[in-house]
Structure 1
Amino acid sequence: MDSYDIMLYVGYLLIGLGALAAVLMPLIKSFDNPQSLLKMGAGLIGVAALFFIAYSIASDEVLPKYAVAPFNLTPSASKAVGGILFTTYILSGLALVGIAVTEVNKLIK
């Protein structure tokens, strides 16, 4: 095991710790203000509803070359990946629109 592998594992560990902190710290802070839990819950429900809509419109088509080894992609997995991609596209578009609206709002003020 050389230094590249070690640094890769350290990077994985730091990403995991960062993700864990990003989830746990707002939860700990929300005990001071329980209303913030409602906002977080509404956000999670909104993203889940958006994923359900995206999953519903995603295709379950699998090309023959991806249905065999090494991919072994099933129609349900293809539909799930399509739903995740559509959700990502929609959220990215909403973020860009939000940035544009914020900048125009700052320009007007």
Structure 2
Amino acid sequence: MIDIGLYITYFLFAVAVAAAVGMPLVNAGKSPGSMKKSLIAVGALVVLFAVSYGLSGSGVTPEQAVKGITESSSKLIGAGLTMLYLCMGISVVAIIYSEISKAIK
């Protein structure tokens, strides 16, 4: 019984992922101008990740080495955490700016 439920879940997850990827591509084909903003946003995230990757360290403690963490995985983890902090800070600043600009108008 559990196996059937898992297979149904996997199938529905695959359908949801296909829809999440496919529908924006279909809509972008209808209006290519809207694709420009999306590509700029994706490019900004790639640049932000590159900066985060450059800032992250690759040090591994003996406890981490026992768990199988290598220098490259440590650098990727650090880059992910740095990117999380940067995105969170940018979003907080954007929220504050949006509220202040609405209050001034």
TM-score (normalizing by structure 2): 0.80
- After TM superposition, list the pairs within 5 Å mapping 1:1-109 onto structure 2: 6=5, 10=9, 17-68=15-66, 71-109=67-105
State the shift of 1:18 in Å.
4.3
Structure 1 alignment gaps of length 5 or more = none
Structure 2 alignment gaps of length 5 or more = none
Q: 1:55 to 1:105 in 2, by over 3 A?
A: same
RMSD: 2.3
Q: Greater helix percent: which structure?
A: 2
1:10-47 per-residue CA deviation (whole Å, 9 max, x = no partner) reads: 4x766665454333322211111112222222211111
What amino acid sits opposite 1:89 in the alignment? Answer: Y
What amino acid sits opposite 1:49 in the alignment? Answer: V
Report % sequence identity.
32
